[in-house]
Every structure is written in C-alpha cells, then in structure tokens.
Amino acid sequence: MLHSMNLNASPFERIKSGKKIIEIRLFDEKRQLLNLGDIINFSRLPDSEELTVQVLTVKVTGLLHYQTFVDLVNDLPMVYFGYPDDSDRDSFIKSIYNIYTSEQEEKYGVLGIKIKLI
C-alpha cells in the first residue's frame, strides 16, 4: 500500500542522506493502516523561497509500538533518528512535544516507523 506523509526540512534531509532510519509518529488512524513492506512518499514541506515540492520514497521495514515518545526515544540509539549518539535526548524529546501534545500521545500511543530509502 502507498502512503503519503509530510516532513519538515530537517528530518527530510536526514532521511535523504541515509542517516535517519526511524520516523516518529502518533499511532493514529492513518498510521494504524501501515504494514511491513508498505511504501511511504514523504513530501518535504517547502520553505518560503522554495517553489517545488521534493518527495522521498521509502519502504516500511519495521513498526515499533510504544506508549510514549520518551519510551521510544530512550529505547533506541540516537543515530536511528539521524543524530550523533551523544545527542541530547531530552532536547530531542522536547522537540517532538512541540509537534504532538501529551493528550494525543495518551490517546493514540506512538509509532517508530523503521524505513529504508528506495
């Protein structure tokens, strides 16, 4: 099955470079449709100067279910998210909560989508 998702510039570039192999999302209705082997087209959200949309295509190679973002991030090496292993986990977790609320997290749980660039 083919899925489409949007990404900000930084995570898009980390996936494009091959550094990021885990995408973090809520386990909401849209992500509950994901299965191993599915294809995701990630569209890079354009900057104010950009006129074209960039798209990356990845294959889903793993689905990691967790109750909280803290549990997910603390269970995996930071390199999976495209950062050096000595990166500040607390700052990374805080950045996730700038996108998702704790109420959303509690309602849906979270998902680590293991991906491979194709």
Q: What percent of the chain has pLDDT over 90?
A: 91
pLDDT for 51 beyond 70: no
Residue 44 CA: distances (Å) to CA of 32, 36, 64, 86, 108: 22, 23, 23, 27, 25
Which phi and psi angles does 76 have, rounded to 5°?
-125, 155
Residue 3 has φ and ψ, to the nearest 5°, of: -125, 155
Average pLDDT, integer, range 47-56: 77
Statement: residue 18 has pLDDT above 90: yes
8 Å CB contact between 42 and 12: yes
Per cent of the chain over pLDDT 70 is 97
Q: In what order do the strands lie in the sheet with 110-117?
A: 2-7, 39-44, 55-66, 110-117, 22-26
Give the CATH number of the domain where residue 30 resides. 2.30.130.30
75 burial type by CB count under 10 A (0-12 exposed, 13-18 middle, 19+ buried): exposed
Residue 45's pLDDT band, with cuts at 50, 70 and 90, is: confident
The yes-or-no verdict on residue 50 having pLDDT over 70 is: no
Which token pair is 36?
A: 């191993």
Q: Which residues on neighbouring strands pair with residue 55, listed in sequence order?
A: 43
Q: 26 pLDDT exceeds 90?
A: yes
| Domain around 53 | 2-117
Q: Based on the structure, what is the number of domains in the chain?
A: 1
